[in-house]
Amino acid sequence: MKLKSEAKYYFWDDPYLWKAGADQVIRRCIPDWEQEDVLIHCHSLAYGGHFGPKRTARKVLDSGFY
């Protein structure tokens, strides 16, 4: 039943899967094959660089990805 309760936070808008977060922000779910590109994008921003995994994860979420 956990799958059913989690499913209410996801929706498909072709060609992307989206998730509504606990903060009510809707973010695009990133497939495995695209994750490296998203990390490269977040590192190349004006405030980019690598400040540890938690800060990098926050940049990804702040950029609208999940």
- What pLDDT was estimated at residue 12? 94
Domain boundary assignment for the chain: 30-66
What would the pLDDT profile of 8-65 be if each residue is shown by its tens digit? 899 999 999 999 988 888 988 989 898 888 888 777 766 666 677 787 777 777 777 7
- Asked if the model's pLDDT at residue 3 lies above 70, the reply is no
pLDDT at position 10: 93
| Number of other CB atoms surrounding residue 42 within 10 Å | 22
The Cα 66–Cα 57 span in angstroms is: 9
pTM value > 0.85:
no
